[in-house]
Each structure stands twice: as structure tokens, then as C-alpha cells.
Amino acid sequence: MPTLKQTVLHHFLTEIPAAAAIWSALLVLAMAVLAALVARPERDTPPDPVPDPAAEEAARRADLRRYAEEVAVAAAGAAQTARRWREQWLTAHDELDRAWRAYDEAEAAARRLAGATVLRAPRTPRTPAEYAARERWLHHAAMTAHWRGDLTARQLADVLAGRNGWDPRRHPAEQEIVLARAVREGRRAHWRAVAERERRAWRDAELAAEAARVLAVEAYAAAEAVRPEAVPVRPAEAVTQTLAPVAAGAAGVPAARWRPARVG
């Protein structure tokens, strides 16, 4: 009669192969299903659309046309800006011419009066009435110069107070020389300030004209790319030379020299 130990061992030895066979069958079935899914993915994912060359070309040309329109608007705005800067420079240049003529007149007057110093001032009686007359002459001449813009309010105050070199007791001939020199220095300072503003305006006009030229070249290239017929792309130098008169006219500058011409 078999013992309990032998019975358990018998059941273990007979059940293990059956369990192994079942697990092997399940593993083979799972591998088969996985292989079928991997081999036929198109059942779960839709097929890729076939590219349409005509649609892609139409979309590309639409993008080119939109870009050409945007660049054309930017080029027109840059041309208007360049025109405004050029007008401002022309205004500053006219002001510089006026300031130079005024300074040149003051310089000529100061030299003329300085040359007259070789002549001795006429002798007049040094009386209180004479000194009062000299003071009235100086005050009147200084206020007239101030009304013309040749003396500042501070300089006029110095004249009326008799300080900073202003002596109402001097002869009117000497006072006229001192006044002419003060006027000359004031006009020279004004001319230098105007010259600096003119240089800045000229530099700004140059930058605006260059920006307008670059955008005009870009707008021309974009317009050529939109044209349906095949147009060979010209070198950048040729495009620049062709568009320079166009950009000049847009900026309000003569075609021969479209940049702001600096007059010395």
C-alpha cells in the first residue's frame, strides 16, 4: 500500500507536464496575436494622405504673394519716412545758411570797427551830462541788439548793471566795438549749434534713405518671385542699381543722387 508521501509525489509528477503544456499553448497563442497586430497596422491607423503637388504649389505662391504685399507696404512707409527726414534736413540746412550769413555779417562788422581803433576817439568834455549820454547810448544799443536776438537776457542785464566788461563811461565808439564783438560771439555760438543740428538731421536722413533703399530692393525681389513666368534672379548689385532711382523718387530725392546731398 503506497504511503502518503508517495501519493503526493505521484500527483505532482503527473500534473506538472499538463500545466506546462497549458501555459505553453497560451504563450504561443499570445505571440500569434501580437505578430498579427504588428504585421497589419493599417487596420488600426488610417493611411497617410497622398501629397497634392498642385495644392502645395498654390499654398507656396499664396505665401509669396502675402509676403510681397507686406514688404511693399513696408517699403512705401519707409519711403515716406525718408521723405520727411529729408524735408527736415533741408529745413535745418536753410537755417544753417541763414545763421552763417548772420555770423559773417557780424564778423565783418567787428573787423571793420576793430580797424577803426587806429583812429583816436573824439575828445568830449567829461561832465555828468556826457557820462549820462554815454550810458543812455549804450543802454539803447544793447536793448536794440537784444530785440534783434543778438544779446541774451543775461547779457542785457550785465549791460544795464555795468558788469562783466560793460562800462557805460566809455566813449560810444569804444562801446560800439565791445558790443559788435559780443554780437559776433553770440552769432558764432548760434551758428555752431545750428550746424550740429544740421549734421544730426543729415545723418538721420541718410539712415532713413538707406532703410528705404533696402526695403525697395526686398520689395522688388518679392514681386519678382510672385510673377508666374520664370524670371532669372539678377545679382544684388544690378537690383540695387535698378531700384536706386525708384527709391529716390519715392523718398523725394532727385534720381541722379537719391541720397541727401550734404552741402558744405
Which of 73-82, 113-122, 126-135, 233-242 holds the top average pLDDT?
73-82
For 115-167, the pLDDT digits (tens) are 665 555 556 667 788 888 888 888 888 888 889 888 888 888 888 888 887 88
Residue 202 lies in a domain: yes
- pTM beyond 0.85: no
- Is position 201 within any domain? yes
Instruction: Note the pLDDT of residue 47.
Output: 63
61 belongs to a structural domain: yes
Whole-number Å distance between alpha carbons of 136 and 132: 6
- Whether 50 is in a domain gets the answer no
**16: in domain:** no
- Determine, yes or no, domain membership for 70: yes
Residue 155 lies in a domain: no
Count up the domains in the chain and report the number: 1
pLDDT exceeds cutoff 90 at 260:
no
- What pLDDT is recorded for position 63? 84
Q: Is residue 199 part of a domain?
A: yes
Range of the domain at 202: 57-122+171-250
